[in-house]
Each structure stands twice: as C-alpha cells, then as structure tokens.
Chains A and B, each alone.
Chain A
C-alpha cells in the first residue's frame, strides 16, 4: 500500500532521475559528514598522547655512599606524567655497585606480578614475598614463577653521582 502511495506522488511531483539525484546527494552528503566526524573522533580516541620530553634523568645517590657488592635500596624523587597531571613521587631502585665501579639499578618490582621484593643477605638473593620468586645479584631468575630477569633502569655516572633514567625496555 505504501509503495503505491509513494509511486503515485513520484509521478506527480519528481521525475525518477531527479528523485535518484536527491537520494544520491542525501546519502553521499550524510555519509561524508559522518566520515568527517568519525575519523577525527577515532584519531582523537585511539592515538596515544604526544610524548612529552623523555623521562628525565634524576640524580639518585652519591656513588661513594653505595657499598660495593651489596645491593642497596636507593630512593629518589622523580616526576611522572599521568594524563594532564605531573606528579613528583618517591621512587626506589635496588642498586648494585660492582668492584669496577659499574652500576646496575633494578626496578623494585618482581617481574612476575609486580610485588616489591627485597635483598635477602643470608641466601644472597633477591627474594619476592608473593610467590617465592628469587633472583641472583645480577637479576637472573633463580627460582619461582618469574618469567624474566629483573627489569633495569638506565643509569649513568656523572661527577661521582649516580643518575637514574627511564626503565630499559626488556627483551
């Protein structure tokens, strides 16, 4: 019924070619407008925020205060960018100074599920209290469910001070 009603009006009012042109334009224009809104919206939502100037290096400790061969928990203040906020927060690292003055700084989280581990002097290992993962002094997995060695911070030594940078990407 609808169809015949419609057809009757078409014949009176608009020629089929005009009607096709109208409908084509309506579909095309609304499609383009939709696209012009959807594409920027997708970019806006999906693209990661522009990286701000790389995470800064922080002076963490005087190298002479770190004993050689014994892991030391060093705490320092660093700024973290969280969306539109910058927070200055306390951060820690387990720092190991080798006899040749080479330094390694480990992130303080276990690579299994992120628990804070500690240095167990008697057993000479880093021990995680959560699922008994343990790591050697150079970060290698000795036992437990940890999937990879301890993650490390980038480090550099300047004028007798230890600077800690961003975390090294793990393999």
Chain B
C-alpha cells in the first residue's frame, strides 16, 4: 500500500496536495459555526450523484418525462428513494446555503479582503435557486407545468429585458417543448459545471484569505484536520441522516400529467419561492412589476454589494446588533409571507377528487335483493344483484371492449400502480364522452405526451367504452369487471338488433314496449324463444316483429335477458 501511495505521490504529488489541503492553518476561534460551508458542498455532491442516477432512467421530453418519472417511482426498486434524496436534497441544500450565508453575514466575514468570496457565494445562492426553478419543471406533471407557466410570466414582466428573457426561456405563447429542453439543458448541462467552477473559486478564495478569525483572536493557529474536519463531518452526518429519513418517509409528489387545458388547477411554486409569490399579491396593476422584478432585483443587488455598503472593520459578534436584527427581520418577514401563502392556498382538485361521494344507486354484489329471488324454470335468477347487472347494454358492450383492449394492463385499478392513471379518479373535465372519444382515437393529441396507444374501434364502440369507463368507481370496479362473457355477448346481440329502440334495460332505451328489467321473473327461456320466433303466438296484438337469431346469438340474448334484475 505504502509503495503504491509513494509511486502516486512521486508521479502526481497527490498525497502532499491532500495534506496541504487538510493541514491548512485555521484560527483558534474557528469551530462549529463554520461547518455549514462544507455541508453545502456535501449536498451539492449528493445532488450530482442522485441526479445522475435519475438521468439513467429519465426521458427528457414533455410527456415522456412524466412517464419515465412514474416508471422510476413505481417500477424501479429504489427509484422512490433516489428521487426522494434528490427532491428533499434540493430543499435541504437551499436551506444550508442560506444558513451558510446568514452565518457569514452575522459574523461580518464578508469584509475586506473577502468581498470577492462573498460575491461568488451570492452567485452560488442564485445558482442554487436556478437549479430549483429548472428542476421543478422536469417531472412534467401539473404542478411542474403550471408552476413554470407562472414563473416564466413573471420573468416576462422584467422591464426592457422581459420579452427577450421570455424568448430565451422558449416560452413565448406557451410553456412546451422548447422551454422544457432549455430548462433541462440548464439543469443538467450548464449549471452543474458552472457550480463546480464557482465552488472551486469560492474555496480557493477562502484558502487564499484564510478562514476569518473572530475579533481579537491572537491564539496560535490550529490545523483544519482533524478537529475541524471532525466537526464538519458531524454536521454532514446529521444532515444526511435527516435527508435519508425524509427520502424514505416523505413521499415525493407526482401529480397528473401536465394538462394545459386544466382550468381548475391552482398553481403554486416550490415552498422556498412562496414568499415571492405572496409578495406579488401586494402589488396591483402597473405596480406589479415592482413586486415581481424590481424588489427582487434590488434585493439581489444589495446582497452583492453588502461588503461595499458595510465597510467598517470587523467587530465582535455581540456588537453586530444591526446585522443580527436585520437577519431576524428578514427571517420573520420570510416566515410570515410563506405562512400567508400556505394558508391562502386552496386545496387542489387533485386531492379533492379522492372524496367523491359514492353514487347512491351503486349496488354492491354483496347486497341481497329479495325481489329477484323468484325462481325461474330455465335460469334461476341469482339471489344477489351484482354491480354489473345494473349496467346498460351499451355499457356492457363497453366493458367487452375494455377487457378485449387490455385496458387493465396500464390501468390496473384503484390503489394499484399502473402506467396509466387511475380511471376511477379522472378529473371532472375528462368525465364526459366528448372528451373521451377523441382521446381514445388519438391519445397524444388530446393529452400531449400521453403514452397510451390509440384504440382502433368505431365511434359507436368508443362511445360504449366511454360509457363504461364513466361508470368506474373505486368501490365497484372489481365487481363491474367480473361480468361473465355471455352477458357481454347477449348485450351485443341486443344492441346490434336495436332492441333498445322499443325496450328499456336499467333505464336505457325506449318505453314503447315493456321494460325488460326482471323479465326472467316473468318468463322462462322457452317463452322467450317462442316470443322471438313469433311474438304474436305468445303475446296477443303485439307489434314486435319476429327475430331469427343464429343459435349462439339466441343463446346469448336469452341468457342475458333472463339474468336481468328487476328495476332498482
């Protein structure tokens, strides 16, 4: 081992470089308050590592992006953990960068000759925010999409530069492919190396000027290693444990696929931007630019110029009352604004849907219905009414297509993870045939980026399929899908012979002729067959024409009709 190290040292000087770095002189007054910078670097490393891992299974185009994030979250072992580390790591990194800045600010460590170190640090804070802003869009769910729409609109309000900024972000007109690609490029290609270079410069400057000592610290200097490194490591370890627990316990949200037509969605930025969001509410009309661009611009500029505004010599911490009260005020203002923003945020539709009241008419397959218990010679009526028995013939045909097209492959049902969304929790504006049929015909045209393959059926069949899908509820979907094939076959015969032009089943059809609900209670199979062949022979004066069915069709329609329960 020693030999290898010596060889490396001789060829590269690596060992002495590391020693040089570790045995840096630091003031005796250095200590726990100076560990935050190292923690920030550590979190950047975590973000690079987990971000790289996510990129291994991520498709950087809208729509595909959403599907691949969903794939990471539902299909890959450890996927939610890696995304959790990246997601919560981003928030923690920002907190730590801000804490680092507050510490330096309170101690006045930005003063001559460390002005450049401070300014590079402010740039790094802005880059951290830029990471958050660009990364927010990448899952391409509703939250990401609408958050970015608001952000880019704010950017567009900037005086003079606004329109150019908007063009640069590729979001004139709307947020779409171009904006997405630019955010992705910023987040993964441009910002990471820029951050590395700036961190390098930042650390170089810290080394050049040495760690700022407390006023009056004339004690002999100490070495960075091992005592201060130990303290840094404790800080890093504690922060990492918090991050890891968060990643395991707290679920990272992934909402519905971004839907530019969703009028009900209430956009909100990431929590650390909420204060800006709230500030905007105080500026109305032409003054809005003041809140959205001028104030933040002035704040950033002031941050940069602090070392030139406060030019006095270093003073003891206890005497920096102005700096400390300034930080306190800022923290209070930030907390107040953020709380106000959180409190005034209405609950989003997304979660409200979960509480949709169950349809009262839904008949569960476990509820006995004594009315249908009358025995029939040909087909004894079932003692209980199954949920599928309440479906109209058209809905049953829809169920047939639902099964045949393998819809459950991607939509496995409530509470299960599938590629596609839970059909029992569709947003309100999708719950109608006029939305669904065009969507079935060409999913990606209606929902850009949808991974769903088009369904190749006639419009009438797609109508039936929509009717059935609209019936799906978390509490009945299993029961509905358990309908036997003969029922679907019978309903198909019924519908293709336009029986519904005169008859009614479960409330669907015409009332010209008797409703067929519970027909099995009144008649048996022999009667039905005779009735089809020559209606007049069993019902005097009927206007029903005779029907000659092929044997399997006759069997299907008879079985179907005989199981029909009495009207609810």
Set of chain B residues within 8 Å of A43, measured between Cβ atoms: 77-78
Residues A26 and B230 in contact in the complex (CB < 8 Å), given A44-B79, A50-B77, A85-B67: yes
Task: Name the residue on A nearest B15 (C-beta).
Answer: A2
| B195 in the interface (beta carbon within 8 A) | no
Chain B nearest CB, measured from A18 CB (Å):
8
- Chain A interface bracket (under 10, 10 to 19, 20 to 34, 35 or more): 35 or more
Q: A83-B68, A86-B419 are in contact. Are A44 and B226 (CB under 8 A)?
A: no
Q: Are A47 and B453 in contact (CB under 8 A)?
A: no
| A47 x B78 contact (CB < 8 A) | yes
> Which of A52-60, A61-69, A132-140, A143-151 contacts its partner?
A52-60
Give the docked Cα–Cα distance between A43 and B16 (Å): 37
Q: Once the chains are docked, how many angstroms separate the CA of A13 from the CA of B67?
A: 57
Rounded to whole angstroms, the CA-CA distance of A159 and B82 in the bound complex is 48
Q: At the interface, yes or no: A33 with Cβ under 8 Å from chain B?
A: yes
Q: Chain B contacts of A30 at CB under 8 A?
A: 233
Contact B53 A9, beta carbon cutoff 8 Å: no
Q: Are B75 and A52 in contact (CB under 8 A)?
A: yes
CA distance A113 to B170 in the complex (A): 47
Cβ–Cβ contact A29 & B453, under 8 A: no
Q: Within B195-229, which residues are at the interface with A (CB < 8 Å)?
A: 220, 222-223, 226-227, 229
- A84 lies within 8 A of B77 (CB): no
A23 within 8 A of B: yes
Query: Would you call B227 and A44 a contact (CB within 8 A)?
Result: no
B interface bracket (residues with beta carbon within 8 Å of A): 35 or more
Is B222 in contact with A13, judged by CB distance below 8 angstroms? yes
Give the distance in Å from the alpha carbon of A33 to the alpha carbon of B64 in the complex.
33
Instruction: Say if the beta carbon of B137 comes within 8 Å of chain A.
Output: no
**Contacting chain A: which of B269-277, B355-363, B403-411?**
B403-411
Chain A interface: which of B236-244, B424-432, B433-441?
A: B236-244
B228 nearest CB neighbor, chain A only = A22
Contact of B68 among A13, A56, A77, A84 (CB under 8 A): A84
In the complex the two chains form, is A86's CB within 8 Å of B230's CB? no
A75 within 8 A of B: no
* A9 and B222 contact, CB distance less than 8 A: yes
Q: Which 4 A-B pairs have the closest CB atoms?
A: A88-B453, A84-B71, A44-B78, A22-B226
Extra contacts besides A22-B230, A41-B78, A81-B419 (10): CB < 8 Å: A13-B223, A22-B229, A29-B233, A37-B49, A44-B76, A45-B53, A45-B56, A53-B409, A77-B456, A86-B419
